[in-house]
Amino acid sequence: MNETATAQPIATLILSAQAGSQRAVNDLLLHITPFVRRLCTSVDAGHRPEAVQDSLFAVYRGLRTLREPAAFYGWVRAVTVREAARTARRAGQAATAELVDQPSPADPSLRVVIADVLERLPSHQRDVLTVRAVYGLDERETARVLSLPVGTVRSRVHRARRNFQDAWR
């Protein structure tokens, strides 16, 4: 982590970056890079650096639109999830890779069954479930990340859960 970012409160760093301080922008981006990398683990390793770069660039571009510095990490998370999903789609990768690739404390064969059931769902339902389950976002955040109306997210989650349960049986 960058020493400047830790020595200076994040809120002050954000405000300085929004005011046009290039050094503050650099320090802020260096500070959040490990966080962004962790969020991009669902993207295939060959495209992960692209997802991280796209996410950091989107944070840089949108930094002036952030109204509340206290919401910074949640905002970075939403931007990163959106950009990682875009990168994965461009690469032709299913958005559910993280669910499949994470080691499970339960029976390893369960992962195979879950992956199989998820693959039977339409991609738009998999995307909604992945964003909700993997990143722990609520309906409004999911809607913002996937650029969908909240009502659409609700109906897709409802249908996806029902379809998942039917396929599980």
- Which pLDDT score is estimated for 10? 86
pLDDT tier at 47 (50, 70, 90 boundaries)? confident
CATH 1.10.10.10 for domain 94-169: yes
Task: Tell me which architecture the domain covering 1-93 has in CATH.
Answer: Orthogonal Bundle (1.10)
Domain boundaries, the chain: 1-93, 94-169
CA–CA dist 114, 120 (Å, integer):
10
- Please indicate whether residue 40 or residue 54 has the higher confidence score (pLDDT): 54
- Which pLDDT score is estimated for 97? 42
Q: What is the per-residue pLDDT across 66-89, written as a single tens digit (0 to 9) for each? A: 888 888 888 888 888 888 888 888
- Which pLDDT score is estimated for 112? 57
98-107 long-range Cβ contacts below 8 angstroms, 24+ apart: 98/41, 98/42, 98/130, 98/134, 99/130, 99/133, 99/134, 101/42
Q: What is the per-residue pLDDT across 18-31, written as a single tens digit (0 to 9) for each? A: 999 999 999 999 99
1-93 shares its CATH topology with 94-169: no
Q: What is the per-residue pLDDT across 75-133, written as a single tens digit (0 to 9) for each? A: 888 888 888 888 888 877 654 444 333 434 444 445 656 776 777 788 888 888 888 87
CA–CA dist 89, 93 (Å, integer):
6
- Listed in sequence order, the DSSP H helices in the chain are 3-7, 10-18, 22-39, 48-62, 72-90, 97-101, 108-120, 123-135, 139-146, 150-168
